[in-house]
């Protein structure tokens, strides 16, 4: 029985490596002052499109409805902060 348990554990072990971080932001792709649109409602977090790429972002000023224009206010601690572009 011990041999079977060992074989099961060995069979399901992850042998590769994981690189990167969650929501790692390429600062060449997005910068403060860039314009885009909300792909989902930001309440205060949601998805935006800026420069043709999708990002997770947080609204600085509360809720932003879907398809509303946004502007990137700042990027801090790997978080994108936006506000409605009115």
Which of 8, 60, 54, 64 is closest to 29 using CA atoms?
A: 54
Predicted TM-score of the model (pTM): 0.73
Q: Are the C-beta atoms of 33 and 45 separated by less than 8 Å?
A: no
| Architecture label for domain 20-84 | Beta Barrel (2.40)
| pLDDT tens-digit map of 33-59 | 999 999 999 999 999 999 999 999 999
Which residue did the predictor score with more confidence, 61 or 10? 61
Structural domain spans, the chain: 20-84
Mean pLDDT of 63-73: 97
Using CA atoms, how far apart are residues 70 and 26, in angstroms rounded to an integer?
19
76: left (phi > 0), else alpha (psi -120 to 50), else beta? beta
């Amino acid at each position: 029985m011990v041999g079977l348990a060992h074989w099961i554990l060995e069979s399901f072990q992850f042998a590769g490596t994981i690189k990167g971080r969650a929501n790692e932001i390429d600062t060449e792709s997005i910068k403060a002052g860039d314009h885009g649109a909300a792909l989902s409602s930001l309440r205060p977090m949601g998805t935006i499109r800026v420069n043709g790429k999708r990002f997770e972002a947080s609204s600085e000023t509360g809720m932003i409805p879907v398809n509303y224009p946004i502007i990137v206010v700042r990027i801090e601690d790997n978080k994108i902060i936006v506000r409605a572009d009115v």
